[in-house]
Amino acid sequence: MLSKIKTCVLYGLEGYEVDVETDLSGGLPNFSIVGLPDISIRESKERVRSALKNSGFGFPVSRITVNLAPANLKKEGSQIDLPIAVGILAANKIIEKNIDEKTCIIGELSLDGNITVVDGALPMVISMRNNNFEKVVVPDENKEECGAIEGIDIIPMGSIRELVHYFNGYLDIEPYKVNYNYSDYNETFQEDFSEIKGQPAMKRAVEIAAAGMHNILLLGSPGSGKTMIARRIPTILPDLTFEESLEVTKIYSISGLLNKNGLIKKRPFRSPHHTSSRVSMAGGGSKPSPGEVSLSHYGVLFLDEIPEFPKNVIEVLRQPMEDGNISISRANGSFTFPAKFMMVASMNPCPCGYLGDPTHECTCNRGQIDKYLGKISGPLLNRIDIQIEVSPVKYDDLNNDKTEESSLDIKKRIVKARSIQQKRYLGLGILTNSELSGKYISKFCKINKESQELLKDAFERLGLSARAYNKILKVSRTIADLEGIENIETKHILEAIQYRNLDRKYWR
Amino acid sequence: MENLNFSQKTIAWLNSANGISNRKIDALFNYFGGNPKDLWDNFKKEKNNLKLKQEIINYLIKTKDDFEESFIQKLKKESVKIVTLLDDDYPKKLKEIDGPPYILYYKGSLSNIDNISIAVVGSRKATSYGKWAAEKFTDELSELGVNIISGLASGIDTIAHKTALKSNVKTIGVIGCGIDIIYPKSNERLYREIVENEGAVITEHPFGMQPLPNNFHARNRIISGLSYGVVVIEAQERSGTLITAGHAANQGREIFAVPGNIDSLYSKGTNALIKDGAKITTSINDIIEEILELKERIKQKQNLIDYSTLSDDEMKIINCLKLESKTIYELNEETKIATGNLLSLLTMLEMKGALKQLTGNKFIINI
């Protein structure tokens, strides 16, 4: 009386096939699970026992041995509840028909026999499809997120009873399909760019940053609208494509942050507080889960008051900003999560916040200011393409009812600029200008002789730092793309230089 | 020099006598009512009333008739030129001092001598700090286009001259011996380079005069006399450098003393100068601040922006900023230039030196 059921465990974002072998034999009644199960799986004994009993199938009085193969792989996650229960039912011949090798079962059990939601269903389903499975049984509540996957049948299941009927052939459940029609999908936001009065330079910088996915640093006194504009950046970013959406949903799925709406269509906007720890930023834990950098994949990671963050928290951003992913190594393995985000950071010019403010006096001394600015390390500054200084809004500007441009108008321009970039970088594994590096910069950011002379002149006269050079080229590329111009012109470079002002004024 | 005018001939002749001081020449001129011709013609007649040593009178009378011819030959041979106190091209700054030298022998060119000049002087035995400071200040002064004056001695003087040459400004070396003698020998090449670069090597001493200790005392008054201010890099107590500073004080020149460690032998003199009221100098701005002409020059340099070369849009921005500093937003409102364009125009204007950026994202016209 042996049965074999296929299920899946997750390592990072990757799902691995696991066999649940169940053997019923004579002897003293006993229930043991072997094959490196973790605590959540050991506890599933109790859930399985009660769920079977309460579903009316009874728990076999015999010696039950469950083996999770391969035996050398550590297994984690409550999704193994259901396959164990099914294994017992199959071994006990309550499920009479053979469950074939191409069917994978995942799901957690509640004591009443219902199948409840699991974390990470989407990445598991995708991995199983890639492992040539034909059918996967998922909890009913996970069907929305999984329904969009092509090439594998999604069988949503509400309870053990339903499942037994299904496998015995008394109940027919249609594979669940969701059709996401991305063309008529329109995300609605509560915020809008038109609410920001004045501040054209800040808006312009943010628009360029969004168009090229450039990291941006906003520096200014309190009340200049830094946070306000940062929160509105998702409203001008292009909608997620299906592939992007799938990738983002995977990350949210394993983090257990999905609601029932299925795939995530809104670009993520994460705003971790400055008391966040290193692990919460990078991801980790004994069972590594994605951190803020991965949760903001394809979206915006907003760090408000960046100097207030502990230095070691900020420094973990360096690798993901460079590589677009983060590798976390722990005793039980190394995991890689994607982390391609647009960093938006804001800060005050000094600890009191009023350096250079027209209406308040700054009370900091030079040493305090240097210490404050020193919290932003050179390597981090190096990875920020656009830096701008913003000044507080005047009362008159707040009060006037001049209509400002709406997010939708700005978004149109950005979408256009992005599609130019995508066309240009087709097949290079690059989506946006911000990802250009070394040889690609010299290939795609060519400037004519006149501009070269000018840039050289600017370096000497304006005292730009060497790190600014590539940034200026990349940002000029984006400005030209926004205008739909193929070659970078002098005026684009001149404008890009303006976005390196802080280097000159604050960090020399 | 092909020929000499009458006063040149007379002064050179008097100066050629070994042991006659500048003050004596002055006395002689006074005796003859400031008239060189009178002096030349009546010297023999009045010889006993001149309070001169007998051997000097004898020497002068002996050489008087053949003097001009042999002197011109010497000048030609060494390609030396002279200028006297009575000539129009005598350095104006030097004329102001008490007891200006009656004659200057020089190699090179004096055409730039009336430009703003600053002396950089210091100890012969310089420390590495002194060398660094000399180079720094000379270099920064050179950027302002001033002449660098020094004493062609080893140590700080050499560094001052060399740095000036490297920065391509005129440099003038004042020496304490005859123009045909190079002292110290190690500076022979520097001596040549100064002359080749249209600077000048100057002395008040006749041909063949050896570098006697007393000569340097007198030389130092010329160094300070030619300059608008004297930068003292390093000086020991009771050194020639301090004598230069003393002359400068007497002549009403600014003294800029570069401070040093109080336990450094080579900064004792400069620290003492500071104690006595010399300007403590830690940056080029300390120098600019005190010299009116330099301040003016910097102002003029900045005012050199030719507004007629600016485009219409650029002028719009300039006009907006004429009265007060403004933020980008205000500029945007007033000029109606699109933000992206405005930003590039602002960079351009900043590069042209027409405006400056302040903290708080404001722009101001550069005056």
Q: pLDDT averaged over chain B?
A: 88
Q: Is A495 on the interface with B (CB under 8 A)?
A: yes
Contact call for A358 and B360, based on CB within 8 A: yes
**What pLDDT, on a 0 to 100 scale, did the predictor assign at position B318?**
86
Q: Is A355 on the interface with B (CB under 8 A)?
A: yes
Strands A289-290 and A283-284: antiparallel
Please, which pLDDT band fits residue A186 given cuts at 50, 70 and 90?
low
Element (H, E) at A455: helix A449-462
Alpha helices in A225-306 (DSSP H): 226-231, 233-236, 242-255, 278-282, 292-295
Residues of A in contact with B357 (CB under 8 A): 501, 505
Encode pLDDT of B353-362 as tens digits. 788 887 777 8
Would the pLDDT of B31 be above 70? yes
Contact call for A492 and B353, based on CB within 8 A: no
Q: Is A218 on the interface with B (CB under 8 A)?
A: no
Q: How many CB atoms lie within 10 A of CB B365?
A: 18
Would the pLDDT of A504 be above 60? yes
Interface residue of B343, B349, B351 to substitute, partner A, most A CBs within 10 Å: B343
Residues of B in contact with A203 (CB under 8 A): 339
Phi/psi for B180 (5° steps) reads -85, 5
Portion of chain A with pLDDT greater than 90, in percent: 46
- Residues A103 and A125: beta-carbon distance below 8 Å: no
Hey, which residues does A7 pair with through a beta bridge? A18
Our CA-based measurement puts residue A342 at a distance from the nearest CA of chain B, in whole angstroms, of 22
- Residues B283 and B290: beta-carbon distance below 8 Å: no
Lowest mean pLDDT among A137-146, A353-362, A428-437, B256-265: A353-362
- Residues B4 and B80: beta-carbon distance below 8 Å: no
For the residues A475-496, what does the mean pLDDT come to? 92
Contact call for A505 and B359, based on CB within 8 A: yes
- Residues B154 and B124: beta-carbon distance below 8 Å: yes
Portion of chain B with pLDDT greater than 70, in percent: 98
DSSP letter string, A352-393? SS-TT-SSS-----HHHHHHHHHTS-HHHHHT--EEEEE-PP
- Residues B103 and B84: beta-carbon distance below 8 Å: yes
Phi/psi for A337 (5° steps) reads -115, 145
What letter represents residue A224's amino acid?
S
d(CA A88, CA A22): 6
Burial classification of residue A151, based on how many CB atoms lie within 10 Å of its CB (0-12 exposed, 13-18 middle, 19 or more buried) = exposed
d(CA B360, CA A267): 32
d(CA B362, CA B350): 12
**What pLDDT, on a 0 to 100 scale, did the predictor assign at position A79?**
92
Encode pLDDT of A330-374 as tens digits. 877 788 899 999 999 999 988 888 887 777 888 888 888 888 888
Report how many Cβ contacts below 8 Å link chain A to chain B: 73
Q: Is A462 on the interface with B (CB under 8 A)?
A: yes
Closest CA to A318 of A407, A215, A416: A215
Our CA-based measurement puts residue B167 at a distance from the nearest CA of chain A, in whole angstroms, of 18
Would the pLDDT of A214 be above 90? yes
Give the tokens for residue A504. 């000159």
What letter represents residue B234's amino acid?
E
Encode pLDDT of B271-309 as tens digits. 999 999 999 999 898 999 899 888 888 777 666 667 777
Encode pLDDT of B152-210 as tens digits. 999 999 999 999 999 889 999 999 999 999 988 889 999 999 999 999 999 999 998 99
Contact call for B339 and A201, based on CB within 8 A: yes
- Residues B213 and B191: beta-carbon distance below 8 Å: no
DSSP letter string, B135-147? HHHHHHHHHTT-E
Our CA-based measurement puts residue B172 at a distance from the nearest CA of chain A, in whole angstroms, of 31
Q: What residue has token string 């037994």?
A: A164
Residues 6+ apart with CB under 8 A from B308: none
Element (H, E) at B202: strand B200-203
Element (H, E) at B164: helix B156-166
- Long-range CB contacts for residues A416-421, cutoff 8 Å, separation at least 24: A416/A482, A416/A484, A417/A211, A417/A212, A417/A478, A417/A481, A417/A482, A417/A484, A418/A211, A418/A238, A420/A481, A420/A484, A421/A212, A421/A481
Strands B171-174 and B81-84: unpaired
Element (H, E) at B106: strand B103-108
Portion of chain A with pLDDT greater than 70, in percent: 97
**What pLDDT, on a 0 to 100 scale, did the predictor assign at position A457?**
81
Strands B200-203 and B103-108: antiparallel
DSSP B179: T
Q: Is B172 on the interface with A (CB under 8 A)?
A: no
Q: Is A489 on the interface with B (CB under 8 A)?
A: no
d(CA B334, CA B331): 5
d(CA A106, CA A9): 9
Residues of B in contact with A495 (CB under 8 A): 340-341, 343-344, 347
Compare CB distances from A461 to B329, B339, B351 and report the shortest one's residue.
B351
Burial classification of residue B229, based on how many CB atoms lie within 10 Å of its CB (0-12 exposed, 13-18 middle, 19 or more buried) = buried
Angle, CA A80 vertex, CA A76 and CA A83 arms, to 5°:
155
Compare CB distances from A204 to B340, B345, B346 and report the shortest one's residue.
B340
Residues of B in contact with A349 (CB under 8 A): 359
Residues of B in contact with A460 (CB under 8 A): none
Compare CB distances from A495 to B343, B357, B359 and report the shortest one's residue.
B343
Nearest CA in chain A to B352: A461
Q: Is B364 on the interface with A (CB under 8 A)?
A: no
**What pLDDT, on a 0 to 100 scale, did the predictor assign at position A362?**
83
Residues of A in contact with B341 (CB under 8 A): 491, 495
Q: Is the pTM of this model over 0.90?
A: no
B367 to each of A463, B325, B335, B353, B364, how far by Cα in Å? 19, 12, 21, 9, 9
Nearest CA in chain A to B338: A200
Q: Is the peptide bond before B184 cis (omega within 30 degrees of 0)?
A: yes
Encode pLDDT of B237-259 as tens digits. 888 888 888 899 899 999 999 99
DSSP letter string, A401-435? -PPPPPHHHHHHHHHHHHHHHHHHTTTTT--SGGG
**What pLDDT, on a 0 to 100 scale, did the predictor assign at position B303?**
61
For the residues A395-416, what does the mean pLDDT come to? 83
Closest CA to A142 of A254, A5, A24, A8: A254
B95 to each of A109, B103, B177, how far by Cα in Å? 107, 11, 21
Give the tokens for residue A83. 């396959």
**What pLDDT, on a 0 to 100 scale, did the predictor assign at position A182?**
58
Contact call for A495 and B347, based on CB within 8 A: yes
d(CA A389, CA A500): 10
Listed by number, the residues of chain A in 436-455 with a beta carbon closer than 8 Å to a beta carbon of chain B are 454
Residues 6+ apart with CB under 8 A from A467: A378, A381, A382, A503
**What pLDDT, on a 0 to 100 scale, did the predictor assign at position B294?**
87
Q: Is A214 on the interface with B (CB under 8 A)?
A: no
Residues of A in contact with B359 (CB under 8 A): 349, 355-356, 389, 505
Give the tokens for residue A221. 């006194």
d(CA A288, CA A302): 23
Please, which pLDDT band fits residue A181 given cuts at 50, 70 and 90?
low
Q: How many CB atoms lie within 10 A of CB A449?
A: 7
Listed by number, the residues of chain B in 324-353 with a beta carbon closer than 8 Å to a beta carbon of chain A are 327-329, 332, 339-341, 343-348, 350-351, 353
The CA-to-CA distance between both ends of chain A, in Å, stands at 76
- Residues B66 and B13: beta-carbon distance below 8 Å: no
**What pLDDT, on a 0 to 100 scale, did the predictor assign at position B91?**
93
Compare CB distances from A498 to B343, B358, B362 and report the shortest one's residue.
B343
What letter represents residue A319's amino acid?
Q
DSSP letter string, B224-270? HHH-SEEEE----TT-HHHHHHHHHHHTT-EEEE----TT-GGGHHH
DSSP A10: E
Interface residue of A360, A464, A483, A491 to substitute, partner B, most B CBs within 10 Å: A491
Please, which pLDDT band fits residue A453 given cuts at 50, 70 and 90?
confident
DSSP letter string, A52-109? HHHTTS----SEEEEEEESTTS-B--GGGHHHHHHHHHHHTTSS-SPPPTTEEE--EE
Nearest CA in chain B to A389: B361
3-class SS of residue B17: coil
Residues of B in contact with A198 (CB under 8 A): 329
Q: Is B360 on the interface with A (CB under 8 A)?
A: yes
Lowest mean pLDDT among A126-135, A245-254, A456-465: A456-465
Our CA-based measurement puts residue B9 at a distance from the nearest CA of chain A, in whole angstroms, of 53
d(CA B262, CA B281): 15
Contact call for B351 and A220, based on CB within 8 A: no
Chain centroid, CA A46 distance in Å: 35
DSSP B282: S
**What pLDDT, on a 0 to 100 scale, did the predictor assign at position B354?**
82
**What pLDDT, on a 0 to 100 scale, did the predictor assign at position A144?**
87
For the residues B307-317, what does the mean pLDDT come to? 83
Encode pLDDT of B66-108 as tens digits. 888 888 988 998 899 999 998 989 999 999 998 899 999 999 9
DSSP B359: T
What angle, rounded to 10 degrees, do the helices at B54-63 and B36-46 form? 120
